Structure 1
């Protein structure tokens, strides 16, 4: 059997939602129900599509698709969901605790790291790699 033939079957929406709820609850430190891809109202929001080509996390604005990320890896998909949540929490935390001067992303990234510390190390490693890649292209810009 070739490697392609041995690929893992895709998980359905319900299984993804249960796994995401578990991880989300760990991340925020309280029980949470997954809603990462159920915020689509027919005009705005995000939607998870699953087909033979994989998982597709699609964003809509004013009824038009304005972004799509695709993968066949359920963990990659779940990572995207968790990063978005941690980023949103980090931004809210930074806004509530704004310090003039340092690049706001320093506070956002610190909050993301704090949240991801509640998860298995594989998730933290992925977050650090993503932050490092972002900073390699777009370094912090502190204002004196």
Structure 2
């Protein structure tokens, strides 16, 4: 097992990978900053996504309206990186889909495809993680065209 990065090193790692998707998003006319906070949060903190590292591993938390929606821990650098970038990637893909919507087609077709394109720019393993998520989503809620 590899060493757990400290929070600052984790932030630098995630940002360096995220910058690989920026030119691809820019080609689509989309500018999407990574809005993940790299620090420990409190329940009365600002809302948003938080990533930090401690002796337990990497933490990913989502806080909205003083409600903690996610509080996940992993020792996997790939997994925490994916969690940290997925929200911004999804937002960028949603903007792209809204600008390029095809009437009568399930919006997720374009959105999932665009997310995969952005994630592939970061690294194949991140696109593979998303594909697993999409497969599970589509088993329960198939495309409706």
Query: Match for residue 22 of structure 1?
Result: 16
CA offsets 1:16-67 (integer angstroms, 9 cap, x no match): 111111111101227x975423597923112224232222211112223232
The structural deviation recorded for 1:111 is 0.8
Normalised by the size of structure 2, how large is the TM-score? 0.78
In the alignment, the residues of structure 2 paired with residue 126 and residue 65 of structure 1 have an alpha-carbon distance, to the nearest angstrom, of: 23
The structure, 1 or 2, with the larger RCO (C-alpha pairs under 8 Å, 6+ apart) is: 2
Runs of 4+ aligned residues of structure 1 deviating over 6 Å after TM superposition are: none
Count of aligned positions: 135
Query: Match for residue 103 of structure 1?
Result: 106
The structural deviation recorded for 1:113 is 1.8
Q: Gapped runs of 5+ residues in structure 1?
A: 1-6
Query: Match for residue 85 of structure 2?
Result: 82
User: RMSD in angstroms over aligned alpha carbons?
Assistant: 2.5
Larger radius of gyration: 1
Query: Match for residue 10 of structure 1?
Result: 4
The structural deviation recorded for 1:97 is 2.1
In the alignment, the residues of structure 2 paired with residue 141 and residue 19 of structure 1 have an alpha-carbon distance, to the nearest angstrom, of: 38
